[in-house]
Amino acid sequence: MIDVNEIDVVVASAEHVKYVDEVLDTITRASKVRGTGIAKRSPEYVKQKMIERKAVLALYHDEFAGFSYIESWSNKQFVANSGLIVANKFRGIGLATRIKRRIFDLSREMFPNAKIFSLTTGEAVLKMNYQLGFRPVTFNSLTEDEAFWRGCESCVNFDILQRNGRRMCLCTGLLYDPEEHKNNADAAFKADVEAK
Span 19-30, average pLDDT: 90
Residue 178 banded pLDDT, cuts 50, 70, 90: very high
- Tell me the sheet residues that pair with 11: 56
pLDDT of the residue at 73: 86
Determine the Cα–Cα distance for residues 123 and 103; give it in Å rounded to an integer. Answer: 18
Quote the mean pLDDT of the chain: 86
Span 51-63, average pLDDT: 97
pLDDT of the residue at 79: 94
The top-scoring range by mean pLDDT among 34-38, 63-67, 188-192 is: 63-67
Domains and CATH numbers, the chain: 4-195 (3.40.630.30)
37 phi-psi bin (left φ>0, alpha ψ -120 to 50, beta other): beta
pLDDT of the residue at 124: 86
pLDDT, tens digit (0-9, with 9 covering 90-100), for 121-132: 788 888 999 999
Residue 185 has pLDDT above 80, yes or no: no
Instruction: Give the predicted TM-score (pTM) of the model.
Output: 0.83
User: What letter represents residue 49's amino acid?
Assistant: K
Instruction: Quickly list DSSP for 117-179.
Output: EEEE--HHHHHHHHHHT-EEE-GGGS---HHHHHGGGGSTTHHHHHHTTTS--SSEEEEE-GG
- Give burial (CB, 10 Å; 0-12/13-18/19+) of 70: buried
Determine the Cα–Cα distance for residues 103 and 110; give it in Å rounded to an integer. Answer: 10
pLDDT of the residue at 160: 84
Residue 112 has pLDDT above 60, yes or no: yes
Of residues 132 and 144, which shows the higher confidence score?
132
Residue 187 banded pLDDT, cuts 50, 70, 90: low
The DSSP 8-state label assigned to residue 91 in this structure reads: T
- Tell me the sheet residues that pair with 173: 119, 137
Residue 189 banded pLDDT, cuts 50, 70, 90: very low
Residue 170 has pLDDT above 60, yes or no: yes
The 3-state DSSP class for residue 82 equals: strand
> Is the CB of residue 84 less than 8 Å from the CB of residue 124?
no
